[in-house]
Amino acid sequence: SPSSSKRSSDNSGDKASLTRFDTLPQYQQITMIREGAQQLGLDDPFFRPHEGVAGAITRIGGRELINYSSYNYLGLVGDERINAAATDAMATYGTTVSASRIVSGERPIHRQLERAIADSYGCDDAVAFVSGHATNVSTLGELMGPRDLILHDEWMHNSALVGAQLSGAKRISFPHNDTASLASLLERHREQFERVMIVIEGLYSMDGDVPDLHAFIDLKRRHQCWLMVDEAHSFGILGQRGLGLREHAQVNASDVDIWMGTLSKSLASCGGYITGCQALVDTLRYLAPGFLYSVGLPPQVTAPAIRALEIMHEEPERVARLHNISRYFLDKAKAIGLDTGNSIGVAVVPVITGSSLKAARVAQTLFASGINVQPIVYPAVPERAARLRFFLSSEHQQAQVDYTMQHLQSAMQQS
């Protein structure tokens, strides 16, 4: 459960110790992991400051590295047209809208962004939140209640789990992408609940694989449920034009009840959105706590997202480049015998190392060779599934991938 690590293990009755933060079990766990890593001679790979735009290349500690740890999928961060959009919006509106949109925080660019998002999907309307995480928390928290059921993929992002928990609905996970298990859960439980929501992602950032959307749509129709798709890693990425899972699976926008996405990845900004039918969007606009009780999106964040969306539509070659280089990466990795799990070879390619220690060691060796990639270790994934996660961008070059493969192969053999 999202809160299980928060349960106190201190039964000593010593209430004074409970007022100290260093007795928190979750703090003790972090400390143990850090100390263990130190003893094994591993550098801490977390919170490393990047000293400029993090694209296919980044700068850390004064060194330039090939970078596979950012979600800058279309290479738009730092694009001067997007920077200019931010500067212009700031010149007009300043750095904040100073209130929730319902009160006095509404600006024309907010509606412009939401219209552009809704049109990109072919939906009635959209609503933009100040963070992608808050979007999932508030949407699930608002729409679902104690008489309802949320069924989600076991690899669903934390934001949806927290939203589900906030809603008070019953929450059951099904094995990753397993529609047969979902079907039997629906057969067993559907009748006992009022509303049922199935929550999946458009492209899973852990494995780089996609759900069988047609099978999910079929199930949600048969069992009278809602289907929500989180497109954080699929909008701007999947489909020839980057229109996401809808384009990849060739379905209509209205086949999915709730499309969710973030502005922080392919759209080079910050924030999240929901797009769908008018009643859904109006409900969230008037009631979702993370929208209603939070400041509107800042101008210098809103305008770049509008511009990024325009560029995405005008320059589909970015999406094509992303697809080509990702496929190149996957093919090369497979050719040298690496385990890339179920990755379909679009934007995300994991390399499974089989142990947390090996993942950390290989990442450290690569870092020394000028390659930045994050290890994903237990407990984020089961120990056997520890991995390095490579995020590609449209701006990566084949020579960078070749260099990476050469070093990755020897690091995997030596670690």
Binding site for ligand PMP (CB under 6 A): 131-133, 136, 157, 159, 201, 205, 230, 232-233, 262, 264, 272
Output 67 or 159, the one with its CB closest to ligand PMP: 159
Tell me the closest approach of the beta carbon of residue 177 to ligand PMP, in angstroms. 14
CB of 403 to ligand PMP, least distance (A): 27
136 vs 138, which CB is nearer to ligand PMP? 136
- From the list 401, 284, 377, the residue with the least C-alpha distance to 29 is 377
Q: How far is the CB of 156 from ligand PMP (least distance, A)?
A: 8
What sign for the dihedral angle of Cα 306, 311, 312, 313?
positive
Q: Which is nearer to ligand PMP, 198 or 357 (CB)?
A: 198
Residue 313 structure tokens: 């539509």
Residues in CB range of 82: below 8 A, 6 or more apart: 76, 268, 304, 307, 308, 311
Shortest CB 45 distance to ligand PMP, Å: 17
The 10 Å Cβ neighbour count of residue 84 is 13
> With contact defined as beta carbons under 8 Å apart, do 65 and 407 qualify?
no
CA dihedral of 138, 144, 150, 152, whole degrees rounded to 10: -20
Smallest separation (angstroms) from ligand PMP to the CB of 387? 16
Closest-by-Cβ residue to ligand PMP is: 132
Least distance from C-beta 328 to ligand PMP, angstroms?
Answer: 24
Residue nearer to ligand PMP on the CB measure, 261 or 338: 261
Strands (E), 180-239: 196-201, 226-230
* C-beta of 43 vs 212, nearer to ligand PMP: 212
Going by C-alpha positions, the residue among 142, 137, 140 that lies closest to residue 150 is 140
C-alpha distances out from residue 14 to 24, 31, 145, 246, Å? 13, 22, 37, 56
HEC-encoded secondary structure of 333-354: HHHCCCCCCCCCCCCEEEEECC
CB of 230 to ligand PMP, least distance (A): 5
Task: Work out how close the CB of 264 gets to ligand PMP at its nearest, in angstroms, rounded to a whole number.
Answer: 3
Our CB check for ligand PMP shows the closer of 70 and 394 to be 70
Question: Which CB sits closer to ligand PMP, 205 or 404?
Answer: 205
Sign of the C-alpha dihedral computed for residues 269, 80, 306 and 96 taken in this order: positive
Amino acid 297 reads L
Of 159 and 356, nearer to ligand PMP (C-beta) is: 159
Integer Cα distance of 136 and 227 in angstroms: 13
Contact 82, 304 (CB under 8 A): yes
Minimum CB–partner distance for residue 132 and ligand PMP (Å)? 2
> Cβ distance 175 to 181 under 8 Å?
yes
**CA distances to 64, 71, 276 from 341, in Å:** 29, 20, 33
137 or 333: CB nearest ligand PMP: 137
| Spatial separation of the C-alpha atoms in residues 57 and 68, rounded to whole Å | 8
Q: Which is nearer to ligand PMP, 70 or 120 (CB)?
A: 70
Cβ at position 272, least distance to ligand PMP in Å: 6
Q: What is the DSSP letter of 154?
A: T
First to last CA, the chain: 33
Helices 317-335 and 398-414 pack at an angle, to 10 degrees, of 30
CB of 261 to ligand PMP, least distance (A): 8
Please identify, using beta-carbon distances, which residue of 201 and 332 lies nearer to ligand PMP: 201
Distance in angstroms (rounded) separating the CA atoms of residues 219 and 10: 45
